[in-house]
Amino acid sequence: MLRHVSLALCLGAASLPAIALAQQAAPEGATATIHADQPGPRMNRQVFGQFAEHLGHGIYGGIWVGETSKIPNDHGYRRDVLDALKAIKVPMVRWPGGCFADEYHWRDGIGTRAKRPVKINTNWGGVDEDNAFGTNEYMGFVERLGADSYVSANVGSASPGETAAWVEYMTSPSGSTLAKERAANGHPAPFKLDYLGIGNELWGCGGNMRAEYAADLTNRYAQFAKASGKTKMLKIASGPSDSNYEWTDTMMRLSGKNIDGLALHYYTRPHDTKWEDKGPALGFSENDWAATMAHTLQMDEFVTKHSAIMDKYDPAKKTWLVVDEWGTWYDPAPGSNPGFLVQQNSVRDAVVAGINLNIFAHHADRVKMAAIAQMVNVLQAMLLTDGARMVKTPTYWVFDLYKPWMDATVLPIDVKTPWYHKDAFALPAIHASAVRDTAGQVHVALVNLDPNRAVPVSVALTGLSATGVSGRVVTGPTMDAHNSFEQPDAVKPVAFTAAQVAGGTLTATVPAMSVVVLDLR
């Protein structure tokens, strides 16, 4: 958690409200204190979850190429993608959407592949969806990753009975007809269904509902979606977007007792006044950089305020806030199908990822699960593929750096930081979090969102004695430095040597536009 030292900072950009930030100004370098003697909550590893939707090449070509593909695969799953995802220990995968979920009928995606119906993906590019990747393929994917499953059910255009039958198909250990059908499709044992989403964005593509109506439907679908046998399936309701606090209040009031989690969606867009103009992923201005950082910092405000409403109905914090769609959303890559949401991923995205992961750590008492949008080839992707080629993005490398945060104990950290100024923006340069991992080692993340200036940071370590430090950094020579298929390793972590520990103080000079993770010994 990051201690609130109460300072209201007004960002000059007209579209941005004042953001209450937990940092105070410091003229030169930043100073901080880690309170290791006051351990906070556990940061669930599920916060590092990822979202994989039937959208563009998010699934087809990105994860699934089929057994007959020339691209090396394990029963149809790309081997390079599987290996890359295993290396960052993906803890949860949300599927099949997104907007796709509320048009998805699970029976289309089971049984002999050649006989599955071809549908139109009306949300994303109007392309043919041949349903080759269905329930068994998804479950095979998460089983291979060792990840939890999170299936979003169709509330918008399917009946509660259809959802109930899908849950029974996935979880029933008995000799029921649906369990036998699953066995005939190659999986006699029940699947491990960890989370069930009750629709997606019910206020929008999930059915344009009022919160009251969505809450009633949530109660109804939740009532009939019963996991069988030993399956402990948590139910996640479709929650608000951005600052829709009314939605959270209504859902918690009317459905709070029937759900285990409430979803929050928030996308970072550099330009947020017109949906058609979000700003380019590459070749952007420094004003766009600053706007991106200002918008992404708003995640803290949204999580804080939605959590406060949840506290009203659930003071014991039993209901999870699940940020199951977050990340950057830019204009589509030039020449790409606009419905495929293809975008490059640069050092800017790495810094955005670090800031959001820090925010989730600060709110680990309520944010128990999250999913970056999305896993492969869509929006702020971990991986990009092109035929047989694959690259790991700067965002992927930040997730790699933050692996020790999974299931770690969050340590409070107070930060006093210099400001980064650009045009109308005044933003805290240093954004940080600290944890004690499951083996007892302390790790500190220092993100410098100033693209022009390295910032010296001095961290007082209270309640812990450290004698050494090592670390890694993700940065690049320009704001939009990125990995291409031609230069796949342009941005990747390198050893960070500008940190020392002496006399209970950790010092480091954090490079401009970088994410540094330090491991104390």
Could you say which of 53, 168, 201, 301 is catalytic? Answer: 201
**By CB under 6 A, residue 98 contacts ligand AHR:** yes
**By CB under 6 A, residue 354 contacts ligand AHR:** no
Q: Which of 40, 62, 91, 97 binds ligand AHR (CB under 6 A)?
A: 97
The token pair that represents 84 in the structure block:
């890359």
Pairing of strands 77-78, 409-411: unpaired
Binding residues for ligand AHR restricted to 99-128, rule: CB under 6 A: 99
Task: Give the number of other CB atoms < 10 A from CB of residue 172.
Answer: 23
Q: Could you give the CA distance from residue 87 to residue 192 in angstroms, rounded to a whole number?
A: 22
Kindly write out the interface string for residues 42-81 of this chain, putting x where it contacts ligand AHR by CB under 6 A and - elsewhere: -----------x----------------------------
Q: Could you give the CA distance from residue 100 to residue 297 in angstroms, rounded to a whole number?
A: 28
Nearer to ligand AHR, 31 or 200 (CB): 200
Smallest separation (angstroms) from ligand AHR to the CB of 204: 6
Q: Could you give the CA distance from residue 463 to residue 36 in angstroms, rounded to a whole number?
A: 5
Smallest separation (angstroms) from ligand AHR to the CB of 12: 28
Three-state DSSP class for residue 107: helix
Nearer to ligand AHR, 77 or 340 (CB): 340
Smallest separation (angstroms) from ligand AHR to the CB of 328: 11
Nearer to ligand AHR, 55 or 442 (CB): 55
301 is catalytic: no
Bond preceding residue 511 cis, omega within 30 of 0: no
Smallest separation (angstroms) from ligand AHR to the CB of 163: 18
**By CB under 6 A, residue 325 contacts ligand AHR:** yes
201 is catalytic: yes
Write the burial class of residue 375 (CB in 10 Å: 0-12 exposed, 13-18 middle, 19+ buried).
buried
Contact 375, 84 (CB under 8 A): no
Smallest separation (angstroms) from ligand AHR to the CB of 279: 17
**By CB under 6 A, residue 200 contacts ligand AHR:** yes
Nearer to ligand AHR, 56 or 428 (CB): 56
Beta bridge partners of 262: 237, 321
Piece in contact with ligand AHR (CB under 6 A), picked from 4-12, 309-317, 371-379, 493-501: 371-379
Q: Could you give the CA distance from residue 136 to residue 187 in angstroms, rounded to a whole number?
A: 8
Could you say which of 53, 103, 129, 325 is catalytic? Answer: 325
Q: Could you give the CA distance from residue 106 to residue 162 in angstroms, rounded to a whole number?
A: 8
Stated as kind and residue range, the H or E segment containing 221 is: helix 211-224
Q: Which residue's C-beta sits nearest to ligand AHR? A: 98
**By CB under 6 A, residue 201 contacts ligand AHR:** yes
Binding residues for ligand AHR restricted to 460-499, rule: CB under 6 A: none
Q: Could you give the CA distance from residue 361 to residue 368 in angstroms, rounded to a whole number?
A: 10
Contact 30, 455 (CB under 8 A): yes
Of 327, 234, 342, 345, nearest to 284 (Cα)?
A: 345
Give the position of tokens 């240093």: 430
Piece in contact with ligand AHR (CB under 6 A), picked from 172-180, 274-282, 373-381, 403-411: 373-381
Piece in contact with ligand AHR (CB under 6 A), picked from 94-102, 104-112, 184-192, 421-429: 94-102
Stated as kind and residue range, the H or E segment containing 79 is: helix 79-87
Stated as kind and residue range, the H or E segment containing 294 is: helix 286-313
Q: Number of residues in contact with ligand AHR, rule: CB under 6 A?
A: 10
Catalytic residues: 201, 325
Given the rule CB under 6 A, which residues bind ligand AHR? 53, 97-99, 200-201, 325, 373-374, 379
